Amino acid sequence: MNSAKILIVDDEPNNFDVIEAQLLEEKYELSYASSGIKALQRLPLFKPDVILLDVMMPGMDGVEVCQKIKSDPQWSHIPIVAVTALNSKQDMARCLEGGADDFISKPASSIELRARIRSMLRIKQQYDTLQQQRDTLADILRLREEMSHMIVHDLRNPIACILFAGELLKEDSLSELSQKKVQRIVNCGYRLQSLTNDLLVMAKLESGNLILTQKTIDFGQFSEQTVFDFETIATQKKIRLISEVPSTQKQVNLDPNLFRRVLDNLLSNAIKFSPHNSVVRFRVEYPEQESIQVRIYISDQGPGVSKELQNVIFKKYAVGTVVEGIEQIGLGLAFCKMIVETHGGQIFVEDHPPKGATFILEI
């Protein structure tokens, strides 16, 4: 086991000699800095486990040195014992407020000095143990995430085979009941394919490897086509889907494939969570401010999103109001948030009186 490293900061070399003699039996590795500036320069080279810091030094005093060390995340965990000849409670309080973990008065006995250092070393050891556990957990989580991404990627081929076989079966002369069952298999296959694609895109986003394929499109035409594709689904559920898109042309630069999946997710949710004989509204605005090209409102008359959930609903695997009979995984909105923010926009949710929720996108 390596010896503990003690950095002694004192403008008087004789004091270092005294401390060195007091700690001789402890077999510590000692290093000396004659000023606060030299102590700060010594940190990355020596990497101490404990710092014995004289308070009364010319130029940069010990309290200022302590504040600089504790304000640096790289060194803030190192315990500091302030060594001072000051006896007033105000001076001792000043040392502790500056970030010192303990203090000792001059002249210090060897018994007290060794006890203080041992106490600080226990604190440092606890920190090191926790840090090691945290690093190990981070490695495990990273490995699990990488394995999940590999599995999701490998799922694409069997899903494609299922869809291909399902489409071929639809062309056979099957009974009406069998045709319905095959169609259900195909629908579930496309749903599974969409989920795996979303997971892969999210993985690329989180790793910083996703590259947007942006194009300049007519956003009005883009929006109308999106709503049109959902009209049949809305009609089947007896939901009135209203589109309010300005007739004026608006050229917007975005990744049409990814942004279409965002709108598909939000419209699908709005229809899925709305009751029969209700209204889902899709509205587009072109604000005058330069920072926002397009603002989109998607409103439903479903159970809504509580104030508490509005702050967390866009996190991965978070779900809103649990509705019986409706599948809720908690990936769709997280995917939407990532894509919108990658486009430099934002997404949030508000209440839609008297009932329901409105999801708002700005890009």
pLDDT in tens, 212-228: 888 999 999 999 999 99
How high is the pLDDT of residue 353? 82
Q: Which two tokens stand for residue 346?
A: 């934002």
Give the 3-state secondary structure of residue 361: strand
What pTM does this model have? Answer: 0.51
Task: Give the number of domains in the chain.
Answer: 3
In a domain, 64, yes or no: yes
Q: Which two tokens stand for residue 53?
A: 């810091």
In a domain, 123, yes or no: no
Among positive and negative, which fits the CA dihedral 252, 254, 260, 263?
A: negative
Query: What integer is the mean pLDDT of 129-154?
Result: 74
Among positive and negative, which fits the CA dihedral 250, 251, 252, 256?
A: positive
Task: Find, among 45, 83, 87, 53, the residue nearest to 70 by Cα.
Answer: 53
- In this structure, what DSSP letter does residue 291 have? T
Give the strand order in the sheet containing 102-105.
Answer: 29-33, 5-9, 50-54, 80-84, 102-105
> Which CATH number does the domain housing residue 49 bear?
3.40.50.2300
DSSP string across 99-144 = T-SEEEESSPPHHHHHHHHHHHHHHHHHHHHHHHHHHHHHHHHHHH
Give the 3-state secondary structure of residue 51: strand
In a domain, 350, yes or no: yes
In a domain, 183, yes or no: yes
Whether 256 and 310 share a structural domain = yes
Q: Structural domain of residue 310, as residue ranges?
A: 215-362
Whether 116 and 82 have beta carbons less than 8 Å apart is answered as no
Q: Which residue has the tokens 């503990």?
A: 4
Spatial distance between the Cα atoms of 252 and 67, rounded to a whole number of angstroms: 50
Task: Say how far residue 316 (Cα) sits from the centre of its chain.
Answer: 10
> Which CATH number does the domain housing residue 222 bear?
3.30.565.10
Whether 353 and 249 share a structural domain = yes
Please work out, in degrees rounded to the nearest 5, the angle formed at the alpha carbon of residue 221 by the alpha carbons of 219 and 223. 65
Whether 356 and 247 share a structural domain = yes
pLDDT in tens, 299-348: 999 888 888 787 788 876 555 454 444 444 456 788 888 889 989 999 99
Q: Which two tokens stand for residue 8?
A: 């002694």
Whether 336 and 243 share a structural domain = yes
pLDDT in tens, 10-35: 988 888 888 888 888 888 999 999 99
Whether 357 and 300 have beta carbons less than 8 Å apart is answered as yes
Spatial distance between the Cα atoms of 342 and 336, rounded to a whole number of angstroms: 10
